[in-house]
Chain A
């Protein structure tokens, strides 16, 4: 297999990771397994972020906002030069799907651990991706991708039948998308969409697609090499989402059988081959209640939810990314490997946000972090006790991924793992995640992309006041634990709202357990 072979003869001596937090740390680990040194980069506020502490080398980028740090192409390239890195792994988000960055990396004589920029260009916009999919014989959502002015879009919408989605031609992800349910709202939606698209992408053209609902979100993980070979690593289902942000992801999907898996995989591979795709990527689809699937877009990067695929297929996607980026063949890396999915994996995204308070995100110090352990439990975390979560980046703290032989056991395992998870000091969505996992609809895999919108009580949580046990636990934690009920924070006590010395005063003269058990 790859790691053994590659560790003996690593294709790179040193790789820079142009990202932060959990994904940067996950790549550090993958590189170390291959015998490759890692170079972290960081903003000022991230100087003690987990990925920086774990990497072999660290280069400060300066600045705090993403624009003045992780998104600054020149700073990242300068850091790669200064640290003698031979390749750059972009992680997800930030510069990962920026074809201009991929070109700049190549022009600087370095290797970009991701798809070539030409393939990225062909899949980058909604319109171009849709055209490539049609040409590759991949089913797309009924709609039109040619914008001949407002009248043509209105006519298309009428012909498709409302409701429709109006999307920016150049857009990606959830940006520049609008749902239109009534004919009289079409003109306004198109005008607003054009303004937004013009500002965001410098291109005000729009496409119109029929709304597919109810639908499930099913995506295919792909990996390609530079020799024209592309392999499907099967589906992930990510139907539990809010405003196009995924909350829980799993593999395999309970509603995808072997025949459908084969057909979706073939479509995704055909599209990837058509555009010369040569690294890890994901083709996203909507699956309707008749079992028909429609292409949405390709995410030209390693995805947040890649661990579920790793757990059911046994491959390490970061190892494979490095292997193919160095010009290696998939046929060599995967020779003799049985890629059929085994068992069931589910990922929960742990975020610093409060679903109970309208999903308000939170920044601030984590005073106590307790991550779960046990059989079949994987935690990809980017935080630790004492870490101050900055306000500048997204709210993902860690990912909890479980594996079990079947879906029912995986659900039970995830619920139990969430039960023993604690991130205290700022609000998180841990309780929310557990409410979803314990919900009958989730347990029965009755999933749809709008389920969180239809079931607001899952976000709101129980209304009952805290039981006596909770109040008792609060005082006992403070009475028994050192320094005000949390392990001593690494970041110093100055930021505390509550002076920990007060507890010491109250405890003066008291020794824990007086030498007894």
Chain B
């Protein structure tokens, strides 16, 4: 039994694997390093990790769960959201490719552009309402609006493309 994953760390893909040894013992490889743990599932969904050997000097209780395409793990008092290298990240209001995506599920309050409009990089093109707050979304690139998928009053999912702006040719 072996479980393979790959996660981004500092922008680099790191292969991570867990190989069952015997009983509750697992051999874990993180990139070039090898660690051995005893892992026990707890009643509250947590996993107690006791290192075998000298790499870590005490045991931890970790909690993990998928979060969209990522995997969230909380251990040693910190939460890590680990992304797989291939995952298409829909987050970030202003992707550098000129496509405005909804940073979270919400309701479109206002659409402030139409196809053909020339817009500035920081110009608010869509106003999204979510969790009682307004979010002003800009394309992050200056150019011409190619397409507008957002409609006022409509609920959009996280990552949904709302407006596409084609970057204006660089001047000079």
Query: Do A422 and B76 form a contact, CB below 8 Å, given A391-B107, A516-B23?
Result: no
Task: Flag if A394 contacts B132 (CB, 8 Å).
Answer: yes
Size bin of chain B's contact surface: 35 or more
Return chain B residues, CB-CB under 8 Å to A469: 49, 56, 60, 75-76
- Closest Cβ neighbor of A420 among chain B residues: B61
Task: Flag if A497 contacts B66 (CB, 8 Å).
Answer: yes
A419 within 8 Å of B by Cβ? yes
Chain B, range 54-80, C-beta contacts under 8 Å to A = 55-56, 60-80
Task: Flag if B68 contacts A364 (CB, 8 Å).
Answer: yes
A385 within 8 Å of B by Cβ? yes
- Closest Cβ neighbor of B64 among chain A residues: A477
A470 within 8 Å of B by Cβ? yes
Task: Flag if A473 contacts B62 (CB, 8 Å).
Answer: yes
Return chain B residues, CB-CB under 8 Å to A393: 131-132
Return chain A residues, CB-CB under 8 Å to B47: 473, 476-477, 480-481
Task: Flag if A479 contacts B39 (CB, 8 Å).
Answer: yes
Query: Do A361 and B63 form a contact, CB below 8 Å, given A368-B45, A465-B9, A472-B35?
Result: no
Q: How far is the CA of A496 from the CA of B69 in the complex (A)?
A: 8
Task: Flag if B16 contacts A425 (CB, 8 Å).
Answer: no
Q: How far is the CB of A232 from chain B (nearest CB, A)?
A: 31
Q: How far is the CA of A479 from the CA of B70 in the complex (A)?
A: 16
Query: Do A471 and B104 form a contact, CB below 8 Å, given A425-B72, A477-B64?
Result: no
Q: How far is the CB of A427 from chain B (nearest CB, A)?
A: 7
B151 within 8 Å of A by Cβ? no
Q: How far is the CB of B80 from chain A (nearest CB, A)?
A: 4
Of the residues A391, A419, A466, contact of B77 by C-beta under 8 Å: A419
| Of A234-242, A292-300, A484-492, the one touching chain B | A484-492
Query: Do A486 and B65 form a contact, CB below 8 Å, given A394-B132, A476-B28?
Result: yes
- A interface residues, tally (CB under 8 Å): 68
B18 within 8 Å of A by Cβ? yes
Interface string of B1-23 (1 = CB under 8 A from A): 10101010110001011101011
Q: How far is the CA of A363 from the CA of B129 in the complex (A)?
A: 12
Query: Do A475 and B18 form a contact, CB below 8 Å, given A361-B131, A480-B47?
Result: yes
Return chain B residues, CB-CB under 8 Å to A313: none
Of the residues B20, B56, B61, B64, contact of A368 by C-beta under 8 Å: B64
B82 within 8 Å of A by Cβ? yes
Q: Please report A residues at the B interface, Cβ cutoff 8 Å.
A: 65-66, 352-353, 357, 360-364, 367-368, 370, 385, 391-395, 418-420, 422, 424-428, 430-431, 434, 462, 465-482, 484-487, 496-498, 500, 503, 506-507, 509-510, 512-514, 516-517
8 contacting pairs across A/B (C-beta < 8 A):
A363-B131, A367-B66, A391-B130, A462-B78, A472-B30, A477-B62, A478-B3, A479-B18
Q: Please report B residues at the A interface, Cβ cutoff 8 Å.
A: 1, 3, 5, 7, 9-10, 14, 16-18, 20, 22-24, 26, 28, 30-31, 33, 35, 37, 39-41, 44-47, 49, 55-56, 60-82, 91, 103-107, 130-133, 135, 155, 158
Closest 10 pairs (CB-CB, A-B): A477-B64, A486-B65, A361-B131, A367-B65, A473-B62, A424-B65, A422-B63, A487-B45, A497-B68, A368-B65
